[in-house]
Structure 1
Amino acid sequence: MKILFLLLLTANAFAAVHLPSVIGDHMVLQQNTKIKIWGWADPGERVTIKASWSKHTLSVTAGKDGRWESSLATTKAGGPYEIVLNTIQLTDIWLGEVWLCSGQSNMDMTVAREDRYWCGVYHEAEEVAAANYPQIRVFDAAYTPTDTIQKDVAGMWEVCTPATVKHFSAAAYFFARDLQQKLKVPIGLITTAYGASTAEAWISRKELKSFPALLDDYARKKAIYDTSITARKKYGEALAKWKIAAAEAKAAGKDQPREPKNPDPEKDQHNPAVLYNGMVAPLIPYTIKGAIWYQGESNTSKPEIYRSLMETLIANWRKDWKQGDFPFLYVQLANYGKPDLLPVSEKGTVLIRQAQLENLRIPHTGMVVAIDNANPDKPEDIHPKNKQAIGLRLSLQALALVYGEKIAYSGPVYQKMKIEGNKVRLYFNENNLQSRDSILTGFAIAGDDKQFVWANAIIEGNTILVSSDKIKQPTIVRYGWASNPPVNLYNKEGLPASPFKTDK
């Protein structure tokens, strides 16, 4: 009886210990560093942590709020390992490289079409069948928009197989695949992305104080909704009808109808901080190597603030993770829409690309150019299917900027200009400029009146000489300055040049 009592007492002592969903079986932990591990228990409870790759046992006591946190030293890549925390046993754990993957629909877009019509990559069936990569593991954070900062988010680690890869982020998966094949270590992806989300949705409310117009607009919309009984009633009725229609479609093997939009601003992925609160904060402080980001389409209505928004987002995440200026690699917006016929068509998409180019001034960032990535057969589709190219280019950025590989990782980047009579000489960061065709396209030139015309462009070393018989005193040049421009400037490695502008 006494022994039974002691066993029950011991079990109860450990019963309160629990972990965030991002710490679990099959996870990848960052190699060769001190990783953060945390959870909750009864206040004052002692939690012991034993990792099978280490001889040491750690001990930490839960605080008054029940939260506990510890640092656990990792070794070089390998596995499988186990971690025991009191009575909790985590298995099939690997040490390798961990990357956070975020953004909107082009990051959220999955390898297979499944039940979302806009998903699915080129050669989908072949890619799915070949996805046997047990050392690639993915944690996908559930869509959780909210006004309150969450401690946890639903999700679980999954091993990459033909069955699981179907619902993996395509851009993130191809990035991990190419990186894993080169580094020969396990790759862990933490994906937290959602379609149509704005950059401000992924930034904390505290850090958005320098954007009062965004916060004020949200407060106004929230106040209107909170006093509207009609809006909530209509949504409830529409949701009930949708659930019936969705079930019928699923049973018939058809695409599900689109779910009605929740009118609550708190549940809208366009609004400030709502995705940071529910889908970023719960992942902190899981130790990462860096982040990849693909977003911007939903900010084209206010492109003038995008550069500062992204400066704020990157600083926000780096501050909260407390890992210094970790690498932040992002994808510049792809070409989109019907091919543009005018030499210059300045739209929100174009200005977002310029802001992204200027964001390269932020330390330890890298940018993938995707100005050639539109679907050739359907350029008006804002979700390019060639995510293989995006994943490859992201991996080149990581290999060069993060892992020290001496490889080409970026296309030509404009540096400066020089006016030479009736011509303008453009200087770039490399001297292996090439055109995909016999004639360079995509260059426009103008004088002080900014009346742009198509320009003749000739490669000379690491420069391009631009001119037009119609412009006698040129002062400014644009390249690729449209939503879907005719561009063909690359380097010899086949990486495209970013669109850019010059000014006098």
Structure 2
Amino acid sequence: MKNLMTTVVVFCTALLYSTVQADLRLPSIFSDGMVLQRDRPVTVWGWSDPGSRIHILLATRGATPAQSATATTRADGSGRWSTTLGKEDHRTEETNVEWTLTITEHSGSVPAPKMVITEQGTNVSASEADGRTTHLDRVRLTDVLVGEVWICGGQSNMEWSINASDGDGRSRQAMANPRLRLIKAPHRVATTPQEDIETRWEACTPEALGNWSAVGYFFGERLIAELDVPVGLISTNWGGTRIEPWIDRADLAAHPMFAARTAALQKQIDQWEGLGEQRIIELQAEADRALTRDRARYWQQINQEDPGHQAGWMKPAFDDSDWKQMELPAEWERADTQLNDFDGTVWFRKSINIPQEWIGRSDVVLNLGGVDDSDQTYVNDVLVGTSTDQVGRNRRYPISAEVLGSGTAVIAVCALDPHGAGGMIGPRISLDTSDGRNTIDLGGPWRWKAGLRTNKTVQSRLTQPTNPGARSTAYGALNDAMISPFVPYSIRGALWYQGEANAEQAEEYRELLPLMIKSWRTDFGEDMAFGIVQLAAFRATSTDPDQGGWAYLRDAQRHAFETVPNTGLVVTTDIGDAEDIHPRNKKSVGDRLADWALHDVYGDDEAVPSGPIAREATRSGGGVLINFEHCRGGLSVAQGGQNPGGFALAGPNGRFFWADATVIGKNQVMVESNKVPDPRIVSYGWQDNPVRANLTNASGLPACPFKTEVGTTGRD
């Protein structure tokens, strides 16, 4: 590492005096407040004028001794440039050091011997070695930290916010941590790899953290506490999504199991694009007109019968003092027993004070997150947005200065769900300025009242025509839109909490999850660590010892852990919810992921990376003796049980019976059943919701469900 002098001499090969203003641009992953991965080379990239020379200066700010690193590169013919800072260039003895990253550009082909870049305070200037000043375009990023960077990927359980989770009883003020940062990818789809996505880093402040991924937050908080370094989270996830859209389409096309489907999709994409722009516009306009008419007719019918619309529940002067309160975001069936099995409209109201500095602003956005299924939303009695039958849509309604007004504003949401669970489900509810620098957290108590009970759904004769590849279900669509913009940012690893949407295709998932890990490692580095969260317990309990169901998907996740190096597996069958696919205990998930990372990735022998995992099942008398790994401190039984439960045996006919189990020594369990004198197969926790499964290690981490033939090892 070099000492930062008053001037840093950067040798360059060309210099052009130009009167044209350069166009220097960085991807959104490079923004104020970013976190760079420590102990690894850091790639910096962006765009500028073709052929222009780019200089990178990474320097500590206020540290003693001061340190800096530089690099140079040239933009290619398309204007893209990339360069790498070595892993030693941003290493310091202190862990709480602020850095600045300055990127400067000059254009030209006239040779010049060298250039001097000078940094004084907050100013950066450039000149030739003889002292003559030349104009440079410049991007300067501040509050840059160096620490550990992890991707938080998956579907809704990874996206699930702190506001919607149980938490640990601390206030938002107590949970805030300036060394924890997050950058959230908005939901986007694409048919080709995208270079950028509109987002930016944000610090873990009391105002912001409520909308963060709860799993990501608790994971990052633990790493900071144990490693004493900053942590950056790249939160790229989307509720309800399958795994296939997160995998590079080319990788899917190369796999024998998915090649034909990928080719068929590509043919549909080509056919769509072959329609021509004008024809596509005509089809979309025709569908838009039909859908607009159908939705307007639908809401007209609802509003004529809904007591809230008839009585003016959206008006600021309406007295809602006798309404009950509900903590949002939430599904209303879970939040209040009065709404169990309720289908129809539920009104939510909240009053907020408008900050003085917001008055007159025209860039305020109401971010409701998801609403299940439809909504009409009012601010101060003005309808600001309507979404119909769009549960997966992130509601972002612009609010004009005239509507927002001053003093107190009243937000009223008529949420409509005709079937199943309903509510304002988030994961984020807030009032923001469009630049992302100001926010009012709207999570927490809202007043509510049930309106019209109805099962009416919108009927439309035409669906919106779209590119078949630009759907959230399309192979590669999310990889192109929500992964590619972050490549090749340097990271330590990725956390993956997904599988619910693929639960019925467990055999395919055994191929897909390893394929996705390989795909991501191609982009982010072969040594990228990968933590897998196994599906939690869900659905009604069963007395069938061989029910299967979600157990097959869990086994596919275990298979990836067993066969793909540098992966971890977090078992969560003990912290699920029979009635909710979104268990609220995210802290345990984040902590368990952190324990795995601390042990396997960072070499902390005190951390316990896993619960017991079966390694071998052999005949012993009339029973089966199972050997387990990850039994530090010995095997134990959860919740004060005397003996392990959840084990079953099957004989030659394949019929399973519940079996008795006994812990032997520190790492063995004997399983026996008088109904199975000749056991051939043994299983544990092989159900959707394996409530009998209670085997743990001394740290209380649950054993991984399994099914294996007797006389074999548990490894794939």
Q: What TM-score do you get using the length of structure 1 for normalisation?
A: 0.90
Q: Is the 8 A contact 2:374 2:415 kept in 1?
A: no
Distance 1:488-1:111 versus aligned 2 partners, 3 A rule: same
Matching residue's letter, 1:178? R
Matching residue's letter, 1:268? R
The equivalent residue for 1:309 is 512
Instruction: Give the distance between the partners of 1:413 and 1:350, measured in 2 at CA.
Output: 15
**Runs (5+) with no aligned partner, structure 2:** 1-16, 61-66, 105-137, 300-372, 386-396, 398-409, 418-423, 425-457, 711-716
Displacement after TM superposition at 1:133 (Å):
0.2
Displacement after TM superposition at 1:219 (Å):
5.3
Instruction: Confirm or deny that 1:64 pairs with 2:77.
Output: yes
Q: How does 1:248-397 map to 2 (within 5 A)?
A: 248=383, 252-254=411-413, 264=466, 265-321=468-524, 323-347=525-549, 349-360=550-561, 361-375=563-577, 379-397=578-596
Matching residue's letter, 1:214? R
Could you say what secondary structure the match of 1:144 adopts? Answer: coil
Q: Give the stretch that moved more between structures: 218-227 or 466-475.
A: 218-227
Q: Is the 8 A contact 2:571 2:702 kept in 1?
A: yes
Which of the residues 103, 123, 129 maps onto 1:85?
103
Distance 1:314-1:236 versus aligned 2 partners, 3 A rule: farther
Distance 1:34-1:236 versus aligned 2 partners, 3 A rule: farther
Matching residue's letter, 1:488? N
Instruction: Confirm or deny that 1:402 pairs with 2:601.
Output: yes
Instruction: Give the distance between the partners of 2:214 and 2:663, measured in 1 at CA.
Output: 36
Q: Is the 8 A contact 1:196 1:270 kept in 2?
A: no
Instruction: Give the distance between the partners of 1:274 and 1:141, measured in 2 at CA.
Output: 14
Distance 1:419-1:237 versus aligned 2 partners, 3 A rule: farther
**Runs (5+) with no aligned partner, structure 1:** 1-8, 113-119
Which of the residues 492, 495, 499 maps onto 2:701?
495
Q: How does 1:143-154 map to 2 (within 5 A)?
A: 143-154=187-198
Q: Give the stretch that moved more between structures: 271-280 or 205-214.
A: 205-214
Instruction: Confirm or deny that 1:421 pairs with 2:428.
Output: no
C-alpha offsets along residues 352-404 of structure 1, whole Å, 9 cap, x if unaligned? 100111111201000101111113xxx22101100000000000011001100
C-alpha offsets along residues 441-498 of structure 1, whole Å, 9 cap, x if unaligned? 1111110111111110101021111111111111111100010012100000111101
Instruction: Confirm or deny that 1:466 pairs with 2:688.
Output: no
Displacement after TM superposition at 1:271 (Å):
1.9
Instruction: Give the distance between the partners of 1:12 and 1:239, measured in 2 at CA.
Output: 51
Instruction: Give the distance between the partners of 2:23 and 2:272, measured in 1 at CA.
Output: 41
Could you say what secondary structure the match of 1:139 adopts? Answer: strand
Which of the residues 245, 249, 255 maps onto 2:376?
245
Displacement after TM superposition at 1:276 (Å):
0.2
Which of the residues 208, 231, 246 maps onto 2:252?
208
Matching residue's letter, 1:503? E
Displacement after TM superposition at 1:236 (Å):
5.2
Displacement after TM superposition at 1:78 (Å):
3.4
Instruction: Give the distance between the partners of 2:579 and 2:696, measured in 1 at CA.
Output: 23
C-alpha RMSD of matched pairs (Å): 2.6
Matching residue's letter, 1:434? S
C-alpha offsets along residues 3-52 of structure 1, whole Å, 9 cap, x if unaligned? xxxxxx76744x30000001010001011222011000010011111111
Displacement after TM superposition at 1:56 (Å):
3.8
Instruction: Give the distance between the partners of 1:104 and 1:475, measured in 2 at CA.
Output: 37
Distance 1:421-1:244 versus aligned 2 partners, 3 A rule: closer
Instruction: Give the distance between the partners of 2:473 and 2:195, measured in 1 at CA.
Output: 22
Q: Is the 8 A contact 1:176 1:189 kept in 2?
A: yes
Matching residue's letter, 2:100? E
Matching residue's letter, 2:48? A
C-alpha offsets along residues 114-143 of structure 1, whole Å, 9 cap, x if unaligned? xxxxxx111477353422200000000111
Distance 1:279-1:430 versus aligned 2 partners, 3 A rule: closer
Structure with bigger strand share is 2
The equivalent residue for 1:455 is 659
C-alpha offsets along residues 74-107 of structure 1, whole Å, 9 cap, x if unaligned? 2134321111112111000011111111111111
Displacement after TM superposition at 1:324 (Å):
2.2
Distance 1:224-1:148 versus aligned 2 partners, 3 A rule: closer
Distance 1:335-1:234 versus aligned 2 partners, 3 A rule: farther
Matching residue's letter, 2:91? T
Instruction: Give the distance between the partners of 1:61 and 1:458, measured in 2 at CA.
Output: 68
Instruction: Give the distance between the partners of 2:495 and 2:610, measured in 1 at CA.
Output: 15
C-alpha offsets along residues 211-234 of structure 1, whole Å, 9 cap, x if unaligned? 124325645876699887675555
Q: Is the 8 A contact 2:545 2:648 kept in 1?
A: yes
Could you say what secondary structure the match of 2:482 adopts? Answer: helix
Q: What TM-score do you get using the length of structure 2 for normalisation?
A: 0.64
Instruction: Confirm or deny that 1:105 pairs with 2:149.
Output: no
Distance 1:239-1:390 versus aligned 2 partners, 3 A rule: farther
Q: Is the 8 A contact 1:50 1:58 kept in 2?
A: yes
Matching residue's letter, 1:202? W
Distance 1:49-1:308 versus aligned 2 partners, 3 A rule: same
Q: Which structure would you say has the larger Rg?
A: 2
Instruction: Confirm or deny that 1:180 pairs with 2:193.
Output: no
Q: Is the 8 A contact 1:33 1:75 kept in 2?
A: no
Matching residue's letter, 1:105? S
Q: Is the 8 A contact 2:377 2:412 kept in 1?
A: no
Distance 1:426-1:31 versus aligned 2 partners, 3 A rule: same
Matching residue's letter, 2:700? G
Q: Is the 8 A contact 1:101 1:191 kept in 2?
A: yes
Instruction: Give the distance between the partners of 1:396 and 1:465, measured in 2 at CA.
Output: 29
Instruction: Give the distance between the partners of 1:161 and 1:340, measured in 2 at CA.
Output: 44
Instruction: Give the distance between the partners of 2:290 and 2:259, measured in 1 at CA.
Output: 31
Q: Number of residue pairs matched?
A: 483
Q: How does 1:7-18 map to 2 (within 5 A)?
A: 12-13=20-21, 15-18=22-25
Matching residue's letter, 1:398? A
Instruction: Give the distance between the partners of 1:196 and 1:218, measured in 2 at CA.
Output: 20
The equivalent residue for 1:117 is none
Distance 1:108-1:234 versus aligned 2 partners, 3 A rule: farther
Q: Is the 8 A contact 1:434 1:491 kept in 2?
A: yes
Distance 1:234-1:106 versus aligned 2 partners, 3 A rule: farther
Instruction: Give the distance between the partners of 1:336 and 1:217, measured in 2 at CA.
Output: 34
Instruction: Give the distance between the partners of 1:162 and 1:370, measured in 2 at CA.
Output: 28
Distance 1:253-1:491 versus aligned 2 partners, 3 A rule: farther
Instruction: Confirm or deny that 1:40 pairs with 2:240.
Output: no
Instruction: Give the distance between the partners of 2:495 and 2:151, measured in 1 at CA.
Output: 6
Distance 1:237-1:363 versus aligned 2 partners, 3 A rule: farther
